[in-house]
Structure 1
Amino acid sequence: MEKRYLSFEDIEAYKVAFRLSNMVWDIVIHWNNFSKDTVGKQFVRAVDSISANIAEGYGRYTKKDKVHFYRYAKASILESIDWFKKAKSRKLISEEEANTIASDLEKLPRLINWLIKYTNDNLTV
């Protein structure tokens, strides 16, 4: 039996963040130029940064480095929430889209907290 190693793509926080970033992209790509240029680009960058920081943290060697990037991911969640609220209040996203985005943004801090705890508890370096 071949031993399979965990990939960053197996981490639940990464899966949720990656799915969310693609959903936000699919929404923003249809906005008018003004909305896309002001809110859209920032919203996409913030949401993309969540999964990117999880991936980068996973690729680091020491637990201190890993946790550092996982904390960046948590900060990107807060930035994403701000852009999400702006998009919602400016009626750039539908109620259904808003509910899905809000649900994922609510889940992610707990998932990343778990990832930080797991990293601190199980890595020795």
Structure 2
Amino acid sequence: MNKNSDINELEIYREALAFSNLIWGISLKWGFFEKKTIGVQLVRAADSISANIAEGFGRYHYRENINFCYYARGSFYEVCDWLRKAITRKLIPNEKEPQIKEFIDLFPRQLNSYIQYLKKCANSPPIKPINQ
């Protein structure tokens, strides 16, 4: 990965950011008690997915980037737990469930593919300058 590239070019980051904004929009409509008990935790975990991908992207070494992807994965599974609770408690509008389900189904594979790509980059020998 070219470290001079823009994080917005990274599809997995864009997907995670869009998902966290979706969760934010849903939770804004909840009452005080729902926001305080589930909403804050759910939004923080959802925001943490894209934040960890971004932080890893900004790191100099691939292995550091991989570690932050693992943190993003942990946040993803925390989101899944909070979503189960929110769905059980009828807090998620029916019309938003397909968008949520699509992200939940696709994101782990996308993240694992990105991690595998980073591992491959980390294990490949550095490119030597032409004059050596």
Normalised by the length of structure 1, the TM-score is 0.91
RMSD: 1.3
* Alpha-carbon displacement from aligned partner over 1:66-119 (angstroms, at most 9, x marks no partner): 100001001111000001111111000112212211211221111111111111
Residue 34 of structure 2 corresponds to residue 35 of structure 1: yes
Deviating above 3 A after TM superposition, structure 1's stretches of 4 or more consecutive aligned residues are: none
SS in 2 for 1:61: coil
Q: Which moved more, 1:18-27 or 1:103-112?
A: 103-112
Q: Percent identity?
A: 40
Matches within 5 A, 1:1-125: 5-123=4-122, 124=124
- Inter-partner Cα distance in structure 2 for 1:34 and 1:21: 20
Contact in 2 for aligned 1:13/1:111 (Cα 8 Å): yes
Contact in 1 for aligned 2:62/2:121 (Cα 8 Å): no
Contact in 2 for aligned 1:47/1:77 (Cα 8 Å): yes
* 1:29 maps to amino acid: L
- Give the number of the structure whose alpha-carbon radius of gyration is greater: 2
- Inter-partner Cα distance in structure 1 for 2:64 and 2:78: 21
- Inter-partner Cα distance in structure 2 for 1:83 and 1:37: 13
TM-aligned CA deviation for residue 47 of structure 1? 0.5
Structure 2, gaps ≥5 residues long: 127-132
TM-aligned CA deviation for residue 6 of structure 1? 2.4
- Size of the aligned set, in residue pairs, is 121
- Inter-partner Cα distance in structure 2 for 1:54 and 1:93: 26
Normalised by the length of structure 2, the TM-score is 0.86
* 2:38 maps to amino acid: V
